Structure 1
Amino acid sequence: MSILETIKSRRTIKNFKTDPVSSEQLISWLEAAAMAPNHRMTEPWEIYVIGQETRAKLNHKTNFGNAPVLMAILSKHGATSIETEENALATACFVQNFNLAAWEEGVGTFWSSIAATAKNREILGVPEEYDVIGVFGVGYPEEIHEPKPRTPINNKVKELP
């Protein structure tokens, strides 16, 4: 699959098969994700692979679509507010790289902001100097929905003199 096909076909997955995702696959996608652009090479991301005990405490209403892998991706604060923002943006690029690398191999993700709450930060043991970018279910899709309509890109492009 070409990179454009991967980007255009990627979907958020809400229900997953029980088929396992190997640690080797996960590490391979994380290594690809780490090639994300990041200002001053801060590499601000941290990944927490969430086990069953911690997962049960998070108590997500959908149980993350029964994804076989659950992980939290965090972004370290910078020395300044601008660097903190740059780090969060770099970590979002990391997430997108991960999503695309997994999707290319037939594995989908579900991105949840559940860990932004104080309670769930505590459950995950997130240090104060980190933001939680999201908790991600990772696995083989049970179903893949059609894409939702998008605003035509020409409506978003502004040409400046």
Structure 2
Amino acid sequence: METTYIKTPLGIAKIIGDENGVSVISVSDEGDSTAKLEQAKQMSDSIPKVLQEAASQLNDYFEGKRNDFTFKLNTSGTEFQQKVWKGLLEIPFGKTMSYLELSKKLGDVKAIRAVASANGKNPLWIVVPCHRVIGSDGSLTGYAGGLWRKKWLLEHENPSKQQGLFSDL
């Protein structure tokens, strides 16, 4: 397995994978001492060939040039988790879905808590868009990367980037 780090507007992203695909993408705060060490490592190392496409596509996403990912994924999880993650991949860019809607889509409305748990164990930050799942009332609920990141991602993906009424003041 190879590892690389890229700086994003939301912190330092850690990308892990090999020739079989990317298996983990996670984020940490730049203020973390570990993250600072990782950031320094990234600046001095070249990105491993097997991770170059993933790093490039993530950078494009943050620059607003990409709304989907085409690099190979290699996730590890239970059969149910894989089913939930596949369901997350079907939520379109700029759209959201509630945990209840996702549970219904996956065929078991009673599995809402299990769906939420699998969503929280998603190993591929942003790429498998667990940030697009919200509460039934439209609220921002649980997000492993922090609700402020979830809010940022949803605003970043919002197709109508409306300015505030008093932005000129």
TM-score range, shorter chain: under 0.3
Q: TM-score with structure 2 length normalisation?
A: 0.25
* Larger RCO, structures 1/2 (Cα 8 Å, 6+ apart): 1
Q: TM-score with structure 1 length normalisation?
A: 0.25
